[in-house]
Chains A and B, each alone.
Chain A
Amino acid sequence: MVGLSEGEKHFIRGGIAQDLRTDGRRRLQFRAISVETGVIPQANGSARVRLGATEVIATVKAELGKPSILHPDKGKVSIFVDCSPTAAPMFEGRGSEEFSAELCVALQRCLLGGKSGAGAAIDLSSLIVVDGKVCWDLYIDGLVVSSDGNLLDALAAAIKVALSDTGIPKVNVSLSATTDQEPEVNVSDEEFLQFDTSSVPVIVTLTKVGKHYIVDATSEEESQMSSAVSVSVNRHGQIRGLTKRGGAGLDPSVIFDMISVAKHVSRQFISVLDSETLAAEAAE
């Protein structure tokens, strides 16, 4: 993936050990983030997030559907991720499938909660239109346009912004006299309901290189990692999900340490993301 010489590898590892990375950042410092909202007008909500040279687009589309029999009082949310070959030639053809699936599962774990829908970042019962009959199906699509490491954090941030940009059309239901008939649904194209996205978490990935760990790794730095822990944290500092990647084992005490660091870093990250989102919405 990334072709590095021995000298370059040594330089990257040495820089991380001395808390001065190749691009001048410190270990726990993010790259500059830029946010744009409403980039895909065909979607109900969309956002583009750039983290350095990493660029992702997230869209939210809402379609009317039927709630599942097991959870008649809840709507459905699904997340899909695609890595465009524009980001790297290795994503050509079916080359991106495995990697996309990995990102997709990690995002689902962090945003959708358990099988029952409990603990989901999005309040699924707010998506219900008529109990057991009509609900909103949310389709969240992530697209990686340009890749320079830390795709998971960028995708989660983009999804968070896209959800706050999302307007779900107001639905007027005219209930018919007989209960078993399909309810008549009238979708308004003028009134929209906004989501409560305050509990949608961000993901902070701590990448372990040598003895230290860093946030927002570039792809060069990622190529030197031994393992990475992605922690999704919401505004209140609660952990919503956890994923560990990479082959090397971690001491349990290191994991606890990483979680507390991620919590600390996420606070700054959320505030930066919030101010960028506000600026983007004002510019739109």
Chain B
Amino acid sequence: MPLSPRRLTASLAPLHSPPPPRQPPSSAPQKTRRATTHELIAGGGNPSLSRQQRLGERGRAPPAMEYVNPLTGFRVDGRRPNEMRQLKGEVGVVARADGSALFEMGNTRVIAAVYGPREVQNKGQQVNSKDALVRCEYRMADFSTGDRRRKPKGDRRSTEISLVIRQTMEASILTHLMPRSQIDIFVQVLQADGGTRAACINAATLALADAGIPMRDIVTSCSADLNYIEDSAGGPDVTVGFLTKMDKVTLLQMDAKLPMDTFETVMDLAIEGCKAIANYIREVLLENTRRLECQRDH
């Protein structure tokens, strides 16, 4: 069943949802081409980052639908099964923060800002005076998902993701070098199109590096799911956080049952994805350092 992204959107949209975004007809093929020609991680990529196209990460059961076209072998957005979405990283997007970054994975777009290390603002939160206190808040913009909803702040999902990001970042920050201080990481989702968790962690890593906070290693994250292997819709989703140089997994989340041997394949794919993202993040940081060096010379 050949499916165009537009048809998928149309069929997934609830009855009184906003209309599909206005797009000049010429932009659609261009987008697909961009996704497929992006060879950065081709081969070693990740099976399906945008399974939940237009669904965000709302946890709604996806309808029974094949995400890989059995005839062409391409996914609904024109990618190959193990091809990653286009990545984009930019450092220093929030002028007044100590460190900040924008990270895009396909249509998922996230901004992270880091304030600190600074004096602990609320002494009651300080558990251990020998280590830095790392705090994190995750927030989704009202317009980030396909249909617009207004949610109270601090709902369970946001709280959980804030916790996940904090724990993942804490594992890579050298907190013992900054005693009695506090580091705040704020992540704002501008567009949610699947894999927001992973995108947030990658954005936070870039922002922490921009703030010059000492870290053990670059921690990157990537999510993978099985649809192309199992060919079953609504397949399990595996998110992995990975310290590339130390070769250690710091985050692992899966939300379905899965045979052990398949799990290994999926996790390997996700780890490959993490490595590819780490390479990309390193490139972005090097590029930024070069730019800073040029500015210093002039």
CB-defined contacts of A63 to chain B, threshold 8 Å:
16-18, 147-148
- Minimum Cβ distance to chain B for residue A103 (Å): 14
Q: Is A14 an interface residue (CB 8 A)?
A: no
A189:B20 contact, CB within 8 angstroms: yes
Q: Which of A57, A65, A88 contacts B96 (CB 8 A)?
A: A88
CB-defined contacts of A169 to chain B, threshold 8 Å:
19, 22
Complex CA–CA separation, A39 to B104 (angstroms): 12
CB-defined contacts of B121 to chain A, threshold 8 Å:
89
B19:A42 contact, CB within 8 angstroms: no
Interface hit among A5-13, A21-29, A143-151: A143-151
CB-defined contacts of A57 to chain B, threshold 8 Å:
141, 190
Within 8 A of A (CB), among B173-202: 184, 186-188, 190-191
Q: Is A55 an interface residue (CB 8 A)?
A: yes
Complex CA–CA separation, A108 to B170 (angstroms): 42
Binary per-residue interface labels of chain A (148-171) against chain B in the complex, 1 for a CB within 8 Å, 0 otherwise: 100000000000000000110100
Complex CA–CA separation, A169 to B113 (angstroms): 36
B111:A92 contact, CB within 8 angstroms: no
Q: Is B50 an interface residue (CB 8 A)?
A: no
Q: Is A261 an interface residue (CB 8 A)?
A: no
- Main SS of chain B's interface residues? loop
Q: Is A239 an interface residue (CB 8 A)?
A: no
B186:A86 contact, CB within 8 angstroms: yes
- Minimum Cβ distance to chain B for residue A248 (Å): 27
Q: Is A117 an interface residue (CB 8 A)?
A: no
| Interchain pairs with CB closer than 8 A, number | 122
Q: Is A40 an interface residue (CB 8 A)?
A: yes
A190:B141 contact, CB within 8 angstroms: no
A189:B19 contact, CB within 8 angstroms: yes
CB-defined contacts of A166 to chain B, threshold 8 Å:
22
Q: Which of B23, B25, B96, B143 contacts A40 (CB 8 A)?
A: B143
Q: Chain A: which residue is nearest B184 at the CB level?
A: A89
Given contacts A63-B17, A86-B111, contact A145 B188 (CB under 8 A): yes
Q: Is A61 an interface residue (CB 8 A)?
A: yes
Interface hit among A77-85, A201-209, A269-277: A77-85
Complex CA–CA separation, A80 to B153 (angstroms): 14
B148:A86 contact, CB within 8 angstroms: no
- Minimum Cβ distance to chain B for residue A91 (Å): 8
25 contacts between A and B (CB under 8 A): A40-B190, A41-B23, A41-B191, A42-B143, A42-B191, A52-B95, A55-B93, A62-B19, A63-B17, A63-B147, A65-B16, A80-B150, A84-B139, A86-B113, A86-B186, A89-B121, A92-B137, A94-B153, A139-B148, A141-B141, A141-B148, A145-B94, A169-B19, A189-B6, A189-B19
User: Closest 9 CB pairs between A and B?
Assistant: A53-B95, A86-B113, A85-B186, A167-B22, A59-B143, A84-B188, A146-B94, A169-B19, A86-B186
Residue numbers of A with Cβ under 8 A of B are 39-46, 52-53, 55, 57, 59, 61-65, 80, 82, 84-89, 92-94, 97, 139, 141, 143, 145-148, 166-167, 169, 187, 189-190, 192
Residue numbers of B with Cβ under 8 A of A are 6, 10, 16-23, 25, 54, 93-97, 100, 107, 111-113, 115, 121, 137, 139, 141-148, 150, 153-154, 184, 186-188, 190-191
Not counting A63-B17, A145-B93, a sample of 9 additional A-B residue pairs whose C-beta atoms are within 8 angstroms of each other reads A40-B190, A44-B18, A80-B150, A85-B113, A85-B137, A86-B188, A87-B94, A97-B153, A141-B142
